[in-house]
């Protein structure tokens, strides 16, 4: 008798009246909101403006969903295009099936479009959003729990996941690989945040660290999974993908640190323009004040000069008065003699 295990939900859908609320979709949406929220805080701390992350996410998220679904459908095409399967199911994204590799690749294309429209360097945006993406993955993995999918090998550990029987799965206790990967992604997010603060990562290196750390964990969680997958040289396709992407991320970290050390001083031209405009306004006000002060000083100096000139004018007046008095006296004397 098993005394401890993680139960699976009896259903992955909760109906709010006529509206179905699917656990998988809810986890994806919640993850996106968390990623945008954290990315916005980090972007503002880097000198960007509020709302920029959300504006670019409008491009990145749809591209990411399409890319994630395409990767899943292409790598697991037998689930949709083999005999007896309905190809229409390939569009039922709410039933699960998003490949993180395709989501990141296509999401980067969407982010690039959004960044280009705003004149923002994509590496700086990627650095700001990297921990948020890791947390979004951590939340999104719980969608697999709702759908009872992507679990690992059978186990009798106290934290084993109980899977119920259905047409595509056998009842039993299995490794909760969704939980392993979720916890790993939380650790990756904390690692990137710490490293970014400690080493001032820039030019896409925080994002590269996230990619490398995630891939390292994906290798061992992928090894535990028992769902159907393509194999190359005895290893699952996703294991090979994780290894290749891990090596590329490490190479980028090393080369980028040598070629472009440090961190971007300006991440968003618009925010810099606002600062410059404010500075120009202050300079104009200061210049105007200085000019007014100069005019006032000149007026005061002119007034002082005028006051200094008054004594001379007074002396001239006195001299004129004396001359007039002298003239009058001479006239009176002449009249007396005549």
For residue 72, give every residue at least 6 positions away whose Cβ sits within 8 Å of its Cβ, in sequence order, or none.
97, 98, 99, 102
Closest CA to 235 of 220, 216, 251: 220
Question: Could you list the pLDDT tens digit for every one of the 338 residues in the chain?
Answer: 455 799 999 888 877 778 888 899 999 999 999 999 999 999 999 999 999 999 999 999 999 999 999 999 998 888 888 887 888 888 888 777 889 999 999 999 999 999 999 999 999 999 999 999 999 999 999 999 999 998 999 999 999 999 999 877 899 999 999 999 999 999 999 999 999 999 999 999 999 999 999 999 999 999 899 888 889 999 999 999 999 999 999 999 999 999 999 999 999 986 544 444 444 444 555 545 555 555 555 555 555 444 444 444 444 444 444 434 444 444 333 333 34
pTM: 0.78
Three-class secondary structure of residue 174 per DSSP: strand
Predicted confidence (pLDDT) per residue in 256-271, tens digit: 999 999 999 999 986 5
Tell me what pLDDT residue 270 has: 63
Tell me what pLDDT residue 28 has: 94
Tell me what pLDDT residue 142 has: 95
CA separation for the pair 200, 261 (Å, rounded)? 10
Phi, psi of 4 (to 5 degrees): -140, 135
Tell me what pLDDT residue 13 has: 85
Tell me what pLDDT residue 93 has: 82
Tell me what pLDDT residue 166 has: 86
Task: Determine contact, residues 139/33, Cβ cutoff 8 Å.
Answer: no
Closest CA to 159 of 145, 138, 139: 145
Closest CA to 45 of 177, 204, 200, 209: 200
Tell me what pLDDT residue 291 has: 55
| Tokens linked to 265 | 């001083």
Tell me what pLDDT residue 116 has: 95
CA separation for the pair 127, 115 (Å, rounded)? 13
Helix axes 100-118, 52-75, angle to 10 degrees: 150
């Amino acid at each position: 008798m098993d005394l401890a295990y993680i139960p699976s939900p009896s259903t992955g859908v909760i109906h709010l009246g006529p509206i179905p609320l699917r656990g998988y979709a809810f986890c994806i949406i919640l993850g996106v909101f968390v990623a945008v929220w954290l990315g916005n805080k980090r972007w503002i701390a880097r000198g960007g403006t509020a709302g920029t992350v959300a504006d670019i996410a409008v491009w990145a998220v749809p591209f990411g969903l399409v890319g994630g679904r395409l990767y899943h459908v292409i790598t697991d095409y037998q689930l949709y295009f083999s005999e007896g399967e309905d190809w229409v199911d390939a569009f039922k994204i709410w039933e699960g099936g998003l490949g993180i590799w395709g989501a990141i690749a296509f999401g980067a294309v969407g982010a690039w479009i959004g960044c280009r429209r705003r004149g923002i360097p994509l590496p700086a945006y990627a650095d700001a959003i990297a921990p948020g993406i890791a947390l979004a993955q951590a939340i999104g993995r719980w969608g697999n729990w709702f759908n009872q999918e992507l679990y690992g090998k059978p186990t009798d550990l106290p934290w084993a996941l109980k899977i119920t029987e259905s047409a595509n799965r056998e009842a039993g206790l299995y490794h909760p690989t969704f939980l392993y990967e979720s916890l790993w992604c939380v650790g990756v997010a904390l690692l990137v945040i710490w490293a970014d603060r400690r080493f001032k990562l820039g030019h896409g290196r925080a994002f590269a660290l996230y990619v490398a750390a995630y891939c390292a964990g994906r290798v061992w969680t992928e090894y535990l999974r028992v769902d159907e997958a393509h194999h190359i040289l005895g290893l699952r396709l996703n294991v090979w993908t994780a290894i290749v992407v891990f090596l590329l991320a490490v190479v980028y970290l090393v080369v980028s640190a040598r070629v472009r050390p440090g961190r971007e001083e300006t991440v968003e031209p618009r925010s810099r323009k606002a600062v410059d405009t404010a500075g120009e306004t202050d300079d104009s006000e200061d210049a105007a004040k200085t000019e007014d002060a100069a005019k006032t000083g000149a007026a005061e100096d002119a007034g002082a000069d005028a006051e200094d000139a008054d004594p001379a004018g007074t002396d001239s007046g006195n001299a004129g008065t004396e001359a007039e008095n002298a003239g009058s006296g001479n006239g009176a004397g002449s009249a007396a003699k005549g």
